[in-house]
Amino acid sequence: MKRLICGLCCLVAICLTVLFNESTVYAKQEAAGAAGVQMNLFFSNDSIVNKYRTYEINGRKVVQYRRWNETQGYWVDKSWITMS
């Protein structure tokens, strides 16, 4: 009998935790949407690394960088970004 009561209490606690987290995420999405900000919630284990190059512009050398997604194999940035 004690195991049944303990099991039911654990089940209720888990259900309440899941429901509370979903409502919190929904409220955050609604608040972001009302502010005109698009918010994408997702989690990934992509490995993003910075790649650097030295580029010559008008006779002076400039260091530029670009982010590369090693996991998926594509450039994150559309073009090279000049470091100041």
Residues 24 and 56 in one domain: no
Question: Is the torsion defined by CA of 48, 49, 55, 60 positive or negative?
Answer: positive
**What's phi and psi for 38, nearest 5 deg?**
-90, 125
Residues 20 and 36 both lie in one domain = yes
The reply to whether 3 and 36 lie within a common domain is: yes
Residues 58 and 34 in one domain: no
Task: Please tell me the total count of domains within the chain.
Answer: 2
Same domain for 58 and 35:
no
The whole-chain average pLDDT of the chain stands at: 73
Q: What domain range is 20 assigned to? A: 1-41
pLDDT band per the 50, 70, 90 thresholds, residue 66: very high
Return the minimum-mean-pLDDT range out of 2-6, 9-13, 33-37, 50-54: 33-37
